Structure 1
Amino acid sequence: MDQRKKRKEENGTGSPAQPQLRINMPSTAKERVPSVDPYGFERSADFDYNTYEELMSEYLAILTRRSIKWSKMLQGRSRVERNLKVKRYVRKGVPNEHRALIWLAASGSQEQMEKNAGYYQSLLQAQHDPKLVEAIRTDLHRTFPDNVQFQKTANPCLQKTLYNVLVAYGHHNKAVGYCQGMNFIAGYLIIITKDEEKSFWLMEALIGRILPDYYTPAMLGLKTDQEVLGELVKVKVPAVWQAMTQHNVMWTLVVSRWFICLFIDILPVETVLRIWDCLFYEGSKILFRVALTLIHHNQDLILQARNLPDICDRFKQITKGAFVEDCHTFMQKIFKEPGSLSKATITKLREACRAKIMAEES
């Protein structure tokens, strides 16, 4: 194959090289595409079936190529080294059949699980804190009500699996226990891993190491990162920062759900999973890249806002539409549009913002 054509296809800008992936189906897109997506989520009444089919016909070819490359690299191994090739592969997307393996390996969760054999089951068998149990049970039915796997009529119903993971984690990390938002994260992990214990150890990696202090009672890490985003916008998208200041809009008002839910229910499922591929491999700075790209790419729309409600509305609008639905192109953009974003820069900003927040709250 011509190398330039191959690269274009890989980047999602050319025509798919595997026409055999196109299947002749009934005349309307709605008849072709199921009303439930591959992860169990029911499609909304206004779901654009035609656009989805057009997008997926090209993305399916890319996924097939990626899957072949991943299988060739892994060669049946359950381990993966951290190197530039793997990082490049992760950024281009981890096929679903390898996703749980890569998340576990990249985050160190596989190693922790093997070192602590039997620990998860011991947490489930121990006596449980009634207050923790009550808080978790209250949120179970609120977790993905639009996902058929979490509905009580499902067999098996994933609510029981979700309950186990959250109860185990609450007793493992008593400083965090349980707080809202964790149910959605655990739910996503269960959908992908289809395994309680693996989901538990991935939770431990996310909350304990990748996103420290996001889910503690004071939520200092979450507050800090929202302020860090503001400082980054000030430098990289100054016009938006000025508009936010002019209308006296606090960043927590428009981006807190982005961070606390790790873009679950904010962006399309396929896009969230691609973000999480990078989150487990590269760490939390990926969240800043996503947020900055959304803001930078849509700054003209945001700048049309005339007051606080307008700005809030614009921040909801920018998480919908074709730009975020084309997950392959979107992921390419997050590594280009925000420009340089070093770990040292993030660390320095976090230290300054954290100190400021603590001084204000003391």
Structure 2
Amino acid sequence: MFGTQARGEVSHEFQPPLMQYWRPNIYTRRANIIVKFQDLYGFTVEGNVDDVNVLNEVREKVRQQGRVWWALEANKGANWYLQPQISSLSEGIGVAALKLSALANSITLKKLIRKGIPPVLRPKVWFSVSGAAKKRSTVPESYYNDLIKAVEGKVTPATKQIDHDLPRTFPGHPWFDTQEGRAALRRVLVGYSFRDCHVGYCQGLNYVAALLLLVMKTEEDAFWMLAVLLENVLVNDCYTDNLSGCHVEQRVFKDLLAKKCPRIAAHLEAMEFDVSLVATEWFLCLFSKSLPSETTMRVWDVLFYDGAKVLFHVALAIFKMNEEELLMTSQIGDVINILQRSTHHLYDPDDLLTVAFDKIGSMTATTITKQRKKQEPAVMAELDQRLRRLNSLKMDDKPDSPRE
């Protein structure tokens, strides 16, 4: 399904299945109709008939949005999206014919991206707007191939952890359950672990890199998308040994939740519920393990254009969308179950992104940067204290020196 790799080549090309309407396999269980189907990126999804109806509606929106993008491709050229702003749609695009009058004049690239990048265009748009293409241009053409050849056969703590995690990365996926798929994922992860020894490898990156492989056309492009993500898009030190950057993001998110969703925050605080119980995975895996893959891709469309603040918008939206149900909870386990159930069935990305950007309100990158700087000292002090305790325990566990 994803193509084959020619002998001796490091770069691996593959294509996801063509977009089509769902043709589900339906069976009955206790009078409830359960539907199983394969999504655009090869994942098997289980839901009900209502979910399928939502997905078909989403597919129709994707098709219409795709016509807008392709019209712009034809009218403005292949790299039109690199322009700072699209001031208007020219007459040649035919908005009326597309029945998309809501997009009429003053369409910005940001608005188009929030409405979704067509799957076929996604690889090249991501590569450009994220800065990956620019980063790639700063090194020799053979950089990735040379890197992969140079690290072949080398064993480090990072490579050992990567090998341990490969079989656990999206088990059941028709490509990642193959030797070919795992080998491609391993090369990307191992290659990056040597590119940035400060990061090396952190659990969570396997899921991120796996989705990048499914979207991008080549293994090398997936590598550069991972590089720009860790080096430019996300906050520093999110994936280092002590996860200091991730800890900072969790504290910032807790503050934002109190500001944007005060009723939920107060209720969870009364329950002594730590939001990091769910949000840590969201931020480390960038929602790749929580949301359906096609919804995740829509989040990433905006992430690669608007930056890491998008993660806060989406995380807050998930809480906001479940506000009334969360306020009824009295057990920590119930909170986790509600959030997990809702995210797994969030098949309409427009619902999620509408709440994330229209109902949560604006959050500037400057404001979030200030919040991070405010939280960093407390996080570093806490991590330092934790390290001191660990070292103390290690000293206590050491056997006494032999007596003479």
SS at match of 2:175: helix
Pick closer, same or farther for the CA change 1:170–1:78 going to 2, 3 Å.
farther
Pick closer, same or farther for the CA change 1:326–1:216 going to 2, 3 Å.
same
Q: Quick check: 186-195 or 38-47, which moved more? A: 38-47
Pick closer, same or farther for the CA change 1:70–1:100 going to 2, 3 Å.
farther
d(CA) in 2 for partners of 1:73, 1:82: 17
Code of the aligned partner of 2:371: L
Aligned to 1:275: 299
Which of 51, 60, 70 is matched with 2:53 structurally?
A: 51
Pick closer, same or farther for the CA change 1:276–1:50 going to 2, 3 Å.
closer
Code of the aligned partner of 1:63: Q
Deviation at 1:64, TM superposition (A): 3.5
d(CA) in 2 for partners of 1:45, 1:330: 18
Deviation at 1:221, TM superposition (A): 1.1
Correspondences of 1:126-141 after superposition (within 5 Å) = 126-127=150-151, 128-141=154-167
Note the alpha carbon deviations across 1:32-53, whole angstroms, 9 max, x for none.
Answer: x983222111233767664245
Pick closer, same or farther for the CA change 1:185–1:244 going to 2, 3 Å.
same
Deviation at 1:54, TM superposition (A): 4.0
Which of 179, 185, 195 is matched with 1:162 structurally?
A: 185
Aligned to 2:364: 342
User: Is residue 356 from structure 1 mapped to residue 382 from structure 2 by the alignment?
Assistant: no
Code of the aligned partner of 1:334: A
User: Is residue 118 from structure 1 mapped to residue 120 from structure 2 by the alignment?
Assistant: no
d(CA) in 1 for partners of 2:270, 2:281: 23
User: Is residue 213 from structure 1 mapped to residue 237 from structure 2 by the alignment?
Assistant: yes
SS at match of 1:115: coil
Aligned to 1:147: 173
d(CA) in 1 for partners of 2:44, 2:53: 17
Question: Which runs of 5 or more structure 2 residues have no equivalent in the other structure?
Answer: 1-18, 28-34, 87-107, 385-404
Code of the aligned partner of 1:343: A
SS at match of 2:228: helix
Aligned to 1:198: 221
Aligned to 1:294: 318
Correspondences of 1:24-43 after superposition (within 5 Å) = 30=26, 35-43=37-45
Which of 238, 248, 273 is matched with 1:249 structurally?
A: 273
d(CA) in 2 for partners of 1:67, 1:89: 8
Code of the aligned partner of 1:62: Q
SS at match of 2:121: helix
Code of the aligned partner of 1:294: I
Aligned to 1:225: 249
Kept in 2: contact 1:66–1:93 (CA 8 A): no
Code of the aligned partner of 2:178: K
d(CA) in 2 for partners of 1:89, 1:314: 31
Deviation at 1:226, TM superposition (A): 1.1
SS at match of 1:148: coil
More strand by share: 2
Kept in 2: contact 1:267–1:319 (CA 8 A): yes
Note the alpha carbon deviations across 1:157-177, whole angstroms, 9 max, x for none.
Answer: 321111110111000010111
Pick closer, same or farther for the CA change 1:300–1:313 going to 2, 3 Å.
same
Kept in 2: contact 1:165–1:200 (CA 8 A): yes
Q: Quick check: 168-177 or 202-211, which moved more? A: 202-211
d(CA) in 2 for partners of 1:58, 1:210: 31
Kept in 1: contact 2:189–2:206 (CA 8 A): yes
Note the alpha carbon deviations across 1:283-340, whole angstroms, 9 max, x for none.
Answer: 000001101111122211111111222222222233143xx21113332332101112
Kept in 2: contact 1:78–1:101 (CA 8 A): no
Aligned to 2:67: 65
Code of the aligned partner of 1:67: W
TM-score normalised by the chain length of structure 2: 0.76
SS at match of 1:105: helix
Q: Quick check: 96-105 or 78-87, which moved more? A: 78-87
Question: Which runs of 5 or more structure 1 residues have no equivalent in the other structure?
Answer: 1-20
Provide the alpha-carbon RMSD of the alignment.
2.6
Kept in 2: contact 1:29–1:53 (CA 8 A): no
SS at match of 1:35: strand
Aligned length: 334
Structure with higher Rg: it is 2
SS at match of 2:44: coil
Q: Quick check: 337-346 or 65-74, which moved more? A: 65-74
d(CA) in 2 for partners of 1:254, 1:22: 33
User: Is residue 331 from structure 1 mapped to residue 353 from structure 2 by the alignment?
Assistant: yes
The percentage of aligned residue pairs carrying the same residue is 30
